[in-house]
Chains A and B, each alone.
Chain A
């Protein structure tokens, strides 16, 4: 049996075929393909905040991208451009915390990395152009920004990426403080691009979108760790 990797879903008003603006649990298919290509079996986790018992049957967890986290989670007031999804926040905070307590392998992507940082006691910049004075982390709607990241020697992400430093970003918020996590990658503007908890079997957050290129280095490492965890 392949390691089962749960991936959190978005909930958005979506349209397809003859249907318009239905509340829909959805996930960009790139995530599913990235897990499948890496040898895992993806199941999608729509938000549910009653308990985290679904983790009983999972071997690994991916916290996916999406809308902004509620700034109340890190003790801030929402800024004008902050758009939140409280239903996802409640469910994903519970899943992330419980997964880390159980030392289940966890990969956070974009919003998922921000969730890991906030869960570790950190906080976010709510709109990077205000903080950094440039838009290179999200150049235009639907356009990924290509960035050069410097990885911390000896970190997990540095080992996974080899000499490769080029990543594809699409975000307007960023990690201001990673809490108890180690920042193991930064862009030249100083923004954290990778965070990890070296005390865990696999706890990695990346601010870019490795699923878009089915990055087998990162998803492969998650699935391998998940395979070990499940025995």
Chain B
């Protein structure tokens, strides 16, 4: 039986590699490996196409991290530190709405969680240091905040709402990495089910009306804790009749 096919939203980005400097469709391999390690097959969905017909081919989606969303989407003026990626905004909002409408299992990571909120009428804080007065949600690029001996920057705890779907998956509390300067303010159609206990910044949102719609503000794909990817792939398999899940066996 084939593995669930998981579409991951990709960047369209100028990149440098091996002396080349060109526009590429691209995504860090950490996302791809997280999907493959949890039993899915990853394909990358580029943002150039306005159409959402590709959804029909997929069993689940990951909305990946990246640049900031355009504050005009929730009626705000851009903050000086906001660097938008308008091409991805347009494409990913359409894909997100189509995926939720089709009840396709969806995992939002960092920017992807923010897309979940904004696509369903929510809003973001544009620059967390202004709000919370510290920089601890933003690790230095290229660092591993969860490594032994790493500085406090980019590492904090998350407290989960009891009885939430996220808590059933992740428990009451965990420590996460953190690479963002924006954050969900109004979660739109979703429910906030996890916070940073230090400053009450939203770290998890979930859909109660959907089979599987989960957003996390941290980067699980850069860690060994792939539980949210495993849950996505399982939900995708179950939706598409690709695996014997505990629920299917019980039925």
Interface residues in chain A, defined as those with a beta carbon under 8 Å from any beta carbon in chain B: 1-2, 4, 6, 9-20, 22-29, 31-33, 36, 41-46, 48, 50-51, 53-54, 56-57, 141-142
Contacts and interface: CB of A to CB of B under 8 A. Distances in A.
Determine the interface band of chain B, counting residues with CB < 8 A from chain A: 35 or more
Interface in B1-57: 2-3, 5, 7, 10-20, 22-30, 32, 36, 41-46, 48-49, 51, 53-54, 56-57
Interface of B: 2-3, 5, 7, 10-20, 22-30, 32, 36, 41-46, 48-49, 51, 53-54, 56-58, 67, 141-142
A54 B53 CA distance: 17
A20 B28 CA distance: 11
A12 to B, nearest CB: 4
A190 B15 CA distance: 36
Nearest to B12: A29
Of the listed residues B5, B12, B24, B44, the one surrounded by the most CB atoms of chain A closer than 10 A to its CB is: B24
A27 B51 contact: no
Given A19-B141, A42-B46, A54-B41, A12 B25 contact: no
B207 to A, nearest CB: 25
A104 B43 CA distance: 18
Contact of B15 (A6, A14, A141, A142): A14
5 contacts: A24-B27, A50-B3, A51-B3, A53-B2, A142-B20
A22 B144 CA distance: 13
Nearest to A67: B18
Nearest to B46: A32
Given A1-B56, A29-B23, A44 B43 contact: yes
Contact of A9 (B7, B36, B44): B44
B43 A45 contact: yes
B2 A44 contact: no
Contact of B29 (A19, A24, A31, A44): A24
Given A20-B142, A46-B32, A26 B2 contact: no
B26 A27 contact: yes
Given A32-B46, A36-B49, A54 B23 contact: no
Contact of B46 (A18, A20, A44): A44
Nearest to B18: A12
A18 B180 CA distance: 12
A1 B43 CA distance: 18
Given A33-B48, A53-B3, 13 more contacts: A9-B25, A13-B18, A15-B15, A22-B30, A25-B27, A27-B25, A32-B48, A41-B49, A43-B7, A43-B44, A48-B36, A48-B42, A141-B19
